[in-house]
Amino acid sequence: MPVRRDRLEACVTVTPMRLEPTNIQQVGDELAISWKDGTESFIKLETLRRACPCAGCGGEPDVLGNISRPHVTYAEKSFQLTGFDLVGGYALQPRWADGHSTGIYSFTYLRRLGQASG
């Protein structure tokens, strides 16, 4: 049975055990995240807010894959960032200009959002 060594190594490189940002900053209307593996993610603030995973916004599907999104209304300030905190070394908690700050975005989730918005 031949060992597909090249494939294994590629997997290790692309999917590191721990996903960690080395730098996070707002650039224009996007959040720019530099990851430890040398890649970067750019996420539009509007996309980020609409994907808010907190219970009130329900941006993330539950374990069964259902999205029961409550009716959420956004204002112009909803897509403006006033700051953010790092939570427990695994997530980012943005503070929005409309006072909303209960969304905790895991680094894995942020990475996925960055890929989704290209």
54 binds Zn ion (CB under 5 A): yes
Residue 45 as a binder of Zn ion (CB under 5 A): the answer is no
One-letter amino acid of 24: I
Q: Is 94 in the site for Zn ion (CB under 5 A)?
A: no
**In contact, 34 and 22? CB cutoff 8 Å:** yes
Q: Which is nearer to Zn ion, 37 or 95 (CB)?
A: 95
Residue 48 in the binding site for Zn ion (CB under 5 A): no
Cα–Cα distance between 92 and 85 in angstroms, integer?
Answer: 6
**52 is a site residue for Zn ion (CB under 5 A):** yes
Name the 3-class secondary structure at 110. helix
Does residue 97 bind Zn ion (CB under 5 A)?
Answer: no
What is the rounded CA–CA span in Å between residue 76 and residue 18? Answer: 35
Binding site for Zn ion (CB under 5 A): 52, 54, 56-57, 103
